[in-house]
Amino acid sequence: ARTNKGNLPLRQGGRRERTCLRSAPADHALASHSSMAAFYIYPDAAMDQSTAVLECRPSWSFDDQSAEVAMLALLRQHPARVTDPEAATLFVVPLMPYVSSGAGECMGESHQRRMSRAASALRKSPFLSRRGGHDHLLITNTFRVKTFAP
């Protein structure tokens, strides 16, 4: 069977077959975590609103746009995560903009207020100003909601 650069089988006419993904060859496997960039997840309650918004929107797991929840859960357990921000080269802002937007008014606070509070807390971070935010990540997989402009 013919394949393309992504190692996906091609259908007749050159279109990718979406139902049959092959495993990546061993030489494409991820490097060991010791060579991965150390990252820090902000613990500040203004930025990590996961408990509140997940309680207010328990149906998030049925939504195809809420991969931010699973990704943050995986990052929280990742071996490259550090608890000392001085040891980090990347910083994760643990907002869940899509889930927050879907939660709406939650525990007395609107999505807009949660995003505003997070932006304010983030602007105060000495780590954000260190490289102008170029080493910061906000994980979401949707463009459908307004987050904030740092």
125-140: average pLDDT: 92
Mean residue pLDDT across the chain: 77
**Backbone phi, psi, residue 118, to 5°:** -65, -45
Give the pLDDT score at 147. 66
To the question of pTM greater than 0.75 for the whole model, the response is no
Q: Is the pLDDT higher at 61 or at 90? A: 90
**Per-residue pLDDT tens for 19-75?**
333 333 333 334 345 578 999 999 988 888 888 888 888 777 777 778 888 899 999
93-99: average pLDDT: 89
- Looking up tokens 């609107």 gives 110
Lowest mean pLDDT segment, chosen from 20-24, 75-79, 101-105: 20-24
Give the pLDDT score at 67. 85
